Amino acid sequence: MATTDTFPVPEATAAGHAPLLEVDNLQVEFRTRDGVAKAVNGVSYSVEEGETLAVLGESGSGKSVTAQAIMGILDSPPGFVTGGAVRFRGQDLLSLPEDERRAYRGRSISMIFQDALSALNPVFTVGWQIGEMFRVHEGLSKKDGRARAMDLMEQVRIPAARERVDDYPHQFSGGMRQRIMIAMAIALDPDVLIADEPTTALDVTVQAQIMDLLRDLQRERKMGLILITHDLGVVADVADKISVMYAGRIMEKAQVGDIYAAPAHPYTKGLLESIPRVDLKGQDLAAIKGLPPSLTRIPPGCEFNPRCPYVQPICLEKRPPLLDVVPGRSSACHFAQEVLDGSL
């Protein structure tokens, strides 16, 4: 068993090449009037070409902040990266000066956000905004940029794309706007796409369409996809592996199939049990009691101990490191084995 918090990279190390994108022991803090909040407290994960990593967690778990740190778009102040590395094909992005770092944004690593209406500039047409990627990064003319924008809009399956290229964001529906954001993000064929809660603000049927679109695009372009979400249902269809985050740390890592069958952490277990199920209709909903902690006042020992149904004295004293439970799965719990076996 490894005794560090880093995700033991399987085939990649064996093959000897660096993962496409690797987050290594990242630390991010927020300095506010009410104290210093450790929003990201030693997070490590990675993603390969063609692979989908789902980062799962409640609000405040640090999943979005990690993504923003990867992109380098953290609000600073009050946020500061205080440790760790973010490696793209082996190159540590955090150590680069800003203008070199900027070269990766949009071109190698792209990001889409939750609320497409506020994420798009209201006073420019969608064609202009998509075309901007080509005009700025590849020096295309306005006309060519607009033509490429039309192509992209068709690729993301916007009906009547050629007529709507000069429309404004507020003239589209929520699902269409999200597609426009996706179009902007994949315009330059990035290697990694980070999707921060892309479907949270959408209707369920539209959600499914967007996830299908993302999956198809990923397959065509062999992108690495980091899907940030709090919705377990979305994860099951799309992701290959999953990292569960809580209070700024990763609590469990596994392949998706394994985790649904048998979770190895009480938090994951609680999340799975709290999904309403048709066959349990009429019974009490099994929610995890309590609320996530304020990040300026994280409890000592295991962060989850105030809410854990299996809490023991050691949980209040010693913080459990993220360790392998079985090869390929790790969990940050003193009793991970017992949770996995079901003996707790």
Partner 1 sequence: MGRYVIRRLLQMIPVFIGTTFLIFMMVWALPGDPFAGKCGDRPCPESYVQAMTAKFNLDEPWYVQYGLYMANLLQGDFGETFAGVQVIDELTQAYPVTFKLTVIAILFEIVIGVGAGVLTGLRRGGFLDNLVLISTLFVISIPIFVIGYTLQLLLGVNLGLFPVTGREGTVYALILPAFVLASATLAYVARVMRTNLIENLRSDYVRTATAKGLARRRVVGVHTLRNSLIPVITLIGADFGALLGGAIVTEGIFNINGVGGLIYRSIRLREFALVTGAVTVLVIVFLLVNLIVDLLYAALDPRIRYD
Partner 2 sequence: MTDPHSLSPHPTGATADTLEVEAGEGPLGGAVVPAAQDKPRSLASDAWHDLRRSPIFITASVIIVIFVVMAAFPGLFTNKDPYFCDLNLSRQGPSAGAWFGYDLQGCDVYARTIYGARASILVGVLTTTAVTLSGALFGMIGGFYGGWADSVVSRVTDIFFGIPLLLGGILVLSSFPSGVGTPEWQTIGKVVLALAILGWTSLARIMRSTVIQVKQADYVQAARALGGGAPRILRAHVLPNAVTPVIVYATIVLGIFIGAEATLSFLGIGLQPPVISWGVAIDDGATYFRQSPHMLLFPGGFLVLTVLAFIMLGDAVRDAFDPRLR
Q: Which residues bind partner 1 (CB under 8 A)?
A: 71, 73, 99, 102-107, 110-111, 113, 115, 118-124, 132-133, 136-137, 168, 170-171, 181, 184
* Residue 126 near which of partner 1, partner 2, none (CB within 5-8 Å, type-dependent): none
66 is an interface residue for partner 2 by CB under 8 A = no
CB of 188 to partner 1, least distance (A): 8
Question: Which one of the spans 57-65, 147-155, 173-181, 216-224 is the region binding partner 2 (CB under 8 A)?
Answer: 57-65
CB of 39 to partner 2, least distance (A): 7
* d(C-alpha 166, C-alpha 124), whole Å: 9
287-306 mask for partner 2 (x: CB under 8 A)?
----xxxxxxx---------
DSSP structure class, residue 74: -
* Residue 294 near which of partner 1, partner 2, none (CB within 5-8 Å, type-dependent): partner 2
Using an 8 Å Cβ cutoff, are 102 and 110 in contact? Answer: no
* Residue 171 near which of partner 1, partner 2, none (CB within 5-8 Å, type-dependent): partner 1
* Residue 297 near which of partner 1, partner 2, none (CB within 5-8 Å, type-dependent): partner 2
39 is an interface residue for partner 2 by CB under 8 A = yes
**DSSP H/E element including 272:** helix 266-273
**DSSP H/E element including 54:** strand 52-56
Q: Return residues touching partner 2 (CB under 8 A).
A: 30, 32-33, 37, 39, 58-62, 78, 291-297
